[in-house]
Amino acid sequence: MATDYENIARAFLKTPQGGKIIKGLDRFNSLIASETGKQLLTMLGGSGGDALQAAARAAATAERDPARVLLSSLLSTKEGTALASKIVELIGA
């Protein structure tokens, strides 16, 4: 028996916005399945994940704009720069 939340989710997915989300998830899944995506996941599992965690901690304790602190902190490490580069490559920005 479906719960109210499941019914709401199904109804939402039938809207145009839900369709966009599904297309985005499909694109994300295909990117992650690519060779570049696999490399990104490997980096996240290694020292790149540490760089992200350190950047997130810095952003959480900063009085400035957390997004800028996060990005600055992330890009100040070799691993973080490599990780950001892979993300940019993966999304094609």
Does the pLDDT at position 93 exceed 60?
no
Q: Which residues contact 69 (CB under 8 A, 6 or more apart)?
A: 55, 58, 59, 62
**pLDDT given for residue 56 in this prediction:** 73
| pLDDT tens string 14-43 | 888 888 888 888 887 887 788 877 777 777
SS (H, E, C) 26-87: HHHHHHHHCHHHHHHHHHHHCHHHHHHHHHHHHHHHCCCCHHHHHHHHHHCCHHHHHHHHHH
State the Cα angle at 24 between 80 and 89, rounded to 5°.
Answer: 35
Annotated domain spans of the chain: 4-91
Does the pLDDT at position 2 exceed 80?
no
| pLDDT tens string 37-78 | 777 777 777 766 776 777 777 777 767 776 677 777 777 878
**pLDDT given for residue 48 in this prediction:** 65
